[in-house]
Amino acid sequence: MNPSLARSSGPDPRHRPDAIAERILPGELRRGRGAATNASGRFESERREAFDDGWTQDEAPEPLRTEVTWEKPKAIIARNDSPDIPFDRSINPYRGCEHGCIYCFARPTHAYLGLSPGADFESKIFAKPNAAELLVRELSAPGYVPKVIAMGTNTDPYQPIEKRLRITRSILEVLYEFRHPVGIVTKSPLILRDLDILAPMAELGLAKVALSITTLDRALAREMEPRAGTPPRRLQAIKGLRAAGVPAGVMFAPVIPALNDEELESVLEAAVDAGALSAGYVLLRLPLEIKDLFREWLEANAPGRAKHVMSLVRQMRGGKDYDSTWHTRMRGTGPYAEMIARRFHMAVKRLGLNRGTSPLTLTKFRKPAQVGDQLALL
Most trustworthy range by pLDDT among 10-14, 158-162, 355-359: 158-162
- Direct distance between the N- and C-terminal alpha carbons of the chain, in angstroms, rounded to an integer: 75
CA 330 to CA 252: how far, in whole Å? 12
Q: Which of 46, 3, 45 is nearest to 25 (CA)?
A: 3
Q: Are 6 and 33 in contact (CB under 8 A)?
A: no
Residue 214 pLDDT > 70: yes
pLDDT at 164: 97
pLDDT tens digits for 295-347? 999 998 999 999 999 999 999 999 999 999 999 999 999 999 999 999 999 99
pTM score of the predicted model: 0.88
pLDDT tens digits for 170-212? 999 999 999 999 999 999 999 999 999 999 999 999 999 999 9
- Tell me the domains of the chain and their CATH numbers: 4-351 (3.20.20.70)
Q: Are 114 and 44 in contact (CB under 8 A)?
A: yes
pLDDT tens digits for 138-175? 999 999 999 999 999 999 999 999 999 999 999 999 99
Counting residues of the chain whose pLDDT is more than 90, the rounded percentage is 77
Verify cis geometry, omega within 30 degrees of 0, for the bond prior to 254.
yes
Residue 98 pLDDT > 50: yes
Helix (H) or strand (E) holding 348: helix 335-351
pLDDT at 375: 52
Residue 12 pLDDT > 50: no
DSSP, collapsed to helix, strand or coil, labels residue 216 as coil
